[in-house]
Amino acid sequence: MSQETGATHPPEDRGIDAAVLRIAGVVVLGIIMSILDMTIVNVALPTFQQVFGDPGAPLTYSHAAWSVTAYTLALATVIPLTGWAADRFGTKRLYIAAIAMFTVGSVLCATAWDMNALIAFRVVQGLGGGMLMPLGMTILTRAAGPYRMGRLMAILGIPILLGPILGPVLGGWLIEAVSWHWIFLVNLPVGIIALAYAWWALPADEAKPSESFDFLGMALLSPGLASFLFGVSSIPEKGTAADPWVWVPAGIGLALMALFVVHALRADHPLLDLRMLRERTLTVPMITLFAYISAFFGGLLLVPTYFQEVRGESTLHAGLLVAPQGIGAMLTMPLVGRLSDRMPIGRIVPVGIGVVCVGIFLLAHVGAGTPYWQIMGTLFLIGLGMGCVTMPLFTSAMRALKPHQVARGSTLLNINQQIASSVGVALMSVILTSHLKDADLALPAIAAQRDPAVAQQLGPRGMMEGLSQAASAFGTTFWVALALVAFALIPALMLPRRPESHHVRVVGEDDEQAGEPVMVH
């Protein structure tokens, strides 16, 4: 790249104007739908077993869980296509098409007559939902510009952080108050509003003549990613990574993805340009994100599960009890979004990770009778730290991209997040399940929370001992989550820390062709 440089200070801060806020509203609305549906269905699995099962042949939990797995695999399949499709068809048209497909898929899910039909319709829903996150990041990045990106990413971070928390609450309430159909039908009015809003608010963008489609890359990456995630997501059900149902698809997926890496580094126009990872300003935030998200999504499942299995709370109450975590994140995220536009994230993210480490350390000492106010205070502390980590890392990574790389760069970030969250959930689930099985009375005591006959058989002393063992299993798993978060501190300390590096612009031939200068760290 030719080096016509100029170290400049940011222009006068114009703030977030109404036009950009309108665009942000569209993106947040679409992403809320996508992320909520990744978690809202989890609480409905026992309901699906009852509704779609026969008295003589009850539906197995693993069969019902395919309604979650199918959605995740559809996301993984379509995400790699998003960068190419955004360049080829334009972000506005593709975003509207994705919302429409997601909405249609949601309505179809509500009409499902058996479990297999629901699984098929969840695939349709996932194909639309998978494009919403990377497209939303692309649209926001282009609208905000480099100097307002932190604040806009803070807005985007609200649904990303709150979706996994609010999903079970909303799902549990809808199932109890109305019926399971409404966990899908609720997307219909929201989808119609989002379609009209997107048509009005998003600026028209012309589709640029795209490079030839990388059919070989598509044949390697999408099936490879889906196969790997299928294998990993099967670990909790099988209880071990040594089961053929786990390692065969995971191994095939890894082999296909390895072949894609070789292909992408040689091809002129690969489906996903991995050469972008040569930029340290993109690679370091991605490594930090992978380690942090693995612990975050894995650990996020533990808290509501603890409330339900050890403390006997309903799904709705468990969701409400973890709300302080979301409140803490909402308090720090807008402030950190503004700070990340003014100072290097290397001075923000490590502090946030440190706060999260303190919170998880406290959770690792949880017992069967730990006061709720203490747990909720700890969750609030974790939320404060969470608001300082995820979106600044996304912001830093997106700033490292040239304008013509934004669509494919956001796709790369979302693939990284998808793999990290799946690995984290599988790892934490297996560790927790293993420790619960090793304890003599833990699983019977958990079952006794819902079955008075089992409780009577165990007796008060057995119940107390069993719940204590179960709480200890959760605490041990939190120690693993703590280790992963602490590991994320290593790459986080390599993030930019010097103020002057935050505002350096390097203009080269590629950037001039793209029509605007680029910020790099």
Contacts of 447 (CB under 8 A, 6+ apart): 454
Report which DSSP code applies to 4.
E
What is the rounded distance in angstroms from the CA atom of residue 407 to the CA atom of residue 401?
9
Q: Is 235 exposed, middle or buried (0-12, 13-18, 19+ CB in 10 A)?
A: buried
What is the rounded distance in angstroms from the CA atom of residue 145 to the CA atom of residue 152?
10
Task: Dig out the tokens for 202 from the structure.
Answer: 């998003």
What is the rounded distance in angstroms from the CA atom of residue 71 to the CA atom of residue 39?
11
Tell me the C-alpha to C-alpha distance, in Å, between residue 235 and each of 43, 175, 318, 478.
Answer: 19, 28, 25, 19
pLDDT at 422: 74
Identify residue 283 by its one-letter amino acid code.
Answer: T
pLDDT at 60: 65
pLDDT at 103: 94
CB 344 within 8 A of CB 499: yes
CB 260 within 8 A of CB 224: yes
Query: What's the pTM value of the predicted model, to 2 decimals?
Result: 0.75
Instruction: Give the neighbor-by-neighbor strand order of the sheet with 504-507.
Output: 4-7, 504-507, 518-520
pLDDT at 328: 86
Question: Helix 61-89 and helix 215-233: axis angle, to 10°?
Answer: 150
**pLDDT in 10s for each residue of the chain, 521 residues:** 334 333 344 444 455 667 777 888 888 888 788 777 777 787 777 778 778 877 666 676 667 777 877 887 787 788 888 878 887 888 888 999 999 999 999 999 999 988 889 989 998 998 888 888 888 878 877 776 666 666 666 666 666 666 666 777 788 788 878 888 998 998 899 899 999 988 988 887 766 655 677 788 888 888 888 888 788 777 766 767 778 888 898 899 899 989 988 988 888 778 777 888 887 878 888 889 888 888 877 776 678 778 878 888 876 787 788 888 878 888 888 788 777 777 788 888 999 999 999 999 999 999 888 999 999 999 999 989 988 888 788 777 777 677 667 777 777 887 887 778 777 877 787 788 788 888 888 888 887 877 777 777 888 888 888 889 889 989 998 998 899 899 999 998 888 777 544 443 333 334 433 433 333 33
Within its chain, how far is the Cα of 500 from the centroid? 32
Report which DSSP code applies to 518.
E
Secondary structure string (H, E, C) spanning 68-110: HHHHHHHHHHHHHHHHHHHHHHCHHHHHHHHHHHHHHHHHHHH
Residues linked to residue 518 through DSSP beta bridges, in sequence order: 506
Q: Is 514 exposed, middle or buried (0-12, 13-18, 19+ CB in 10 A)?
A: middle
